[in-house]
Each structure stands twice: as structure tokens, then as C-alpha cells.
Amino acid sequence: MKCLQSEQIYLYLEKELPGPETALIREHLKECPLCRKAVKERRVFIKAAESLPSLKVPQDFSRQVMEQIFPLKIPVRASILAVTACFSVMLTALFILFLRSGQTLVNILINLNHSVWNFLKHTLVLSAKISKLAVLLIKTISQCIQQIFNGLASLTSILGPELQIALIILSLAIFTIIFYGLKKKLSIGEHYE
Amino acid sequence: MHEDKELVKKTLAGKHGAFEMIVQKYQQPLLNYIGRTVGEYELALELTQDVFIKTYSSLHSYRSHYKFSTWLYKIASNYIIDYWRKKKIKAFSIDQQSEKEDSPPPIQVPSQETSIYEKYELSEIKGKIETALEKIPSYLRELFVWKHINEFSYQEIAEIKDLPVGTIKNRVFQAKELIRKQMEGMG
């Protein structure tokens, strides 16, 4: 038998050849080291190709596909019901106001409009002021903390460890004196009462 | 296969969960096929998602005498070819006759030189295959991926592509030889 052709080797490895041809190839491979080497190389090649790692499927992939196919839809019946309920509540409220105030419906609507507008105007101004104050407060506190840390950092870089310990003890002592001083003052106040 | 047909029937009857089961079953092999064929992970995810959407919208035209997986991969293959066409990326149709199609297969000339298969570890050979795969024509790459990554039989590939088994065998062989040639060039 002649040396093997490349295609023949692949088909042999993939068990795609008829029995008699496979037997002939086996016999030839016993005698031919070069064809044995060629078969071995292609076996390694196929093994490597077949063991290439799988690409990673994201965990929520199927959910994403389903969301694309079936986008979230609110049923028409539910939407109609919700709108009807809102209108019913509004009409009932208007009717109660009409009965209690004795005003005409037009006047009630005008007054309601004014009240809602005033409420919104005041609430918006107030919330804007509060948020501005909160931002300023946060900025000031963060700057103070930053300054304290900077001061401590420069102190620790200047002072030696012994002096640092002495400073901590001194700070603790001052803090204790202030604390007890305040406590005493408060208790004196209690005696007067 | 029977299970796939049941799931299709349930999907057509309005049970969304049945189609989700189809997606979960085929997402991994389909992503492997599309990913190795287009060579970009993010694009592969996008195309895989599109293929499932296209499959769902065409489900009414599925005929139960076909194997579902064959039908699904046929959609995927056509979708990728369309994508390349739209992007004007040179894509070879499987039906396109290559110049070397009818030339006789090269005769194996055994070599005594040390080959890359002796020089490198399996993991390095895998890396070289991945690089080489991107350099071969897409119509051959697709067939190589189906045969050696998705591990389809020649018969299954022939059914997907509507071509004779012999043609598929010959083209998969061409793909392998081209990849090997590319790998040898890498040293």
C-alpha cells in the first residue's frame, strides 16, 4: 500500500472509512513510521480542535431573549379598570365637596386648582432650599474632616512615636476634663431645681 | 428530537415557557457556533439573540418532518450570511464553487521534520487553532466549527446546508488543511 493521503488520514481517524480500507491502513501504519507520525499529528490537531473551550453564555441570556420576544405588556382590561377607578374616585371627591361646601362645581374646580398650585409652589421652593442647605452642610463637614485628617497626617509626619503617644494622652485628658466639667455644671443646675 | 417538536407545539399554542426551554437548550451550542464563526464575542451574543428571535417569528413555518436542530442551524447560518452581506464583509456562500473544489486532494508526503504538534503543549495548539480559524474563508470556517467544535456528523451538516455528504467531507478537509497550513506558518 502507498503512503496515506491527508484526507484518508482524517477519514480514518473519524472512522468514516469502510472496514477493509481501515484494515489496510492499520497494516500500513505498522510498517511506515512517517505515516504513523502524520496520523499522530492529525490526531493531536483534531483533539485540540474538539476541546476548544465553550464560549460563556451570560446567566440571564434566555431571560433577555424572552424579554425581546415578549416585551412586558399591561393587559388592556387592567389599564381600563385602573383609569375608570381613578375617575370614579375623583368624581366622588368632587361630589362630596359639592354637597359639603354648597358651591357650584365650577367654583370647586377653580379652588381646587388654586390649592394644588399653591401647595406645589411652596413645596417645590421649600424642598429646593432644604436640598441646597443639605449640600452645603455636607460640603462643610467633609472639608472639616479633611482638614482634621490633613493636620493629623502632618503632625504624625513631624512628631516621633513618643511625642505622638504623649499627644494622644494629652488629648484624652483634655477631653475627660471637659466631659466631667460639663457633667458637673449640669448636675449643679439640677440641684438648683 | 421528539422533545423539541413538543416544545415547538406548546410554543405555538401560546406557552412562552416552552420557547424559553428551547432557548436554554440551544443557547450554548448556538453561541459556540456563531462565536467561532464570527470571531467576536459581543457580536456573537447579539447575533445569537437575533437568531432566537428570528426562529420564534418563523416558528409557524416549521414542519415537523424536519429535525428541529437542523432547521435552527439553517436559520442561524443564513442569518450570519445576511449579516455579512449587509455589512459588506466578504462572505463566501457555501454554494459558491471554490477554485480548488475539484482539484484532487493533495498527496500526503510524510515529513521527518519536528512538527508544531511535538513542539507545543495542547493548550498552545488550541490557541493557534483559534487564531488560524479566523484566517480561513468563512464558508469553510463554518463547516469546520460544525464538524469539530459542535461535533455534528457529516450527514447532519449536509442536511443543514442542503448539499451532498461528499461535498461537505471535501470542504471540511479543505478547512482542516488550511488551518494546519496557517498554524505551520505561525511556527
- Does the predicted TM-score (pTM) go above 0.80? no
pLDDT of residue A190: 52
Q: Specify the number of domains making up chain A.
A: 2
Q: Do B53 and A65 touch (CB under 8 A)?
A: yes
Distance from CA of B66 to the nearest CA of A (A): 24
From the list A6, A52, A62, the residue facing B130 with the nearest CB is: A52
Nearest CA in chain A to B14: A70
In order of their start, the domains of chain B are 2-86 (1.10.1740.10), 116-186 (1.10.10.10)
**Better-scored residue on pLDDT, B103 or B65:** B65
From the list A10, A32, A48, the residue facing B173 with the nearest CB is: A10
pLDDT of residue B90: 56
pLDDT of residue B114: 58
Distance from CA of B65 to the nearest CA of A (A): 26
Confidence at B69, pLDDT banded by 50, 70, 90: very high
C-alpha distances (whole Å) from A70 to each of A62, A66, B53 are: 12, 6, 10
Q: Do A16 and B110 touch (CB under 8 A)?
A: no
Residue A74: is it exposed, middle or buried by C-beta count within 10 angstroms (0-12/13-18/19+)? exposed
Confidence at B85, pLDDT banded by 50, 70, 90: confident
Helix axes B138-148 and B122-133, enclosed angle (nearest 10) = 140
* Enclosing domain of residue A44: 6-50
Is residue A193 one of the residues assigned to a domain?
A: yes
Which one, of B22, B19, B33, B17, lies nearest residue B76 by Cα?
B33
Q: How far apart are CA B13 and CA A144, in angstroms?
A: 67
Q: What are the tens digits of pLDDT across the range B115-142?
A: 666 667 778 888 889 899 988 998 899 9
3-class DSSP assignment, residue A58: coil
Q: What is the pLDDT along chain A (193 residues), one digit of tens a residue?
A: 788 888 899 999 989 898 899 999 999 999 999 999 989 989 989 999 998 989 999 999 999 999 988 876 667 788 888 899 989 998 888 888 888 777 787 888 888 888 888 889 889 999 999 999 999 999 999 999 988 888 877 777 777 778 888 888 998 999 999 988 888 777 755 554 4
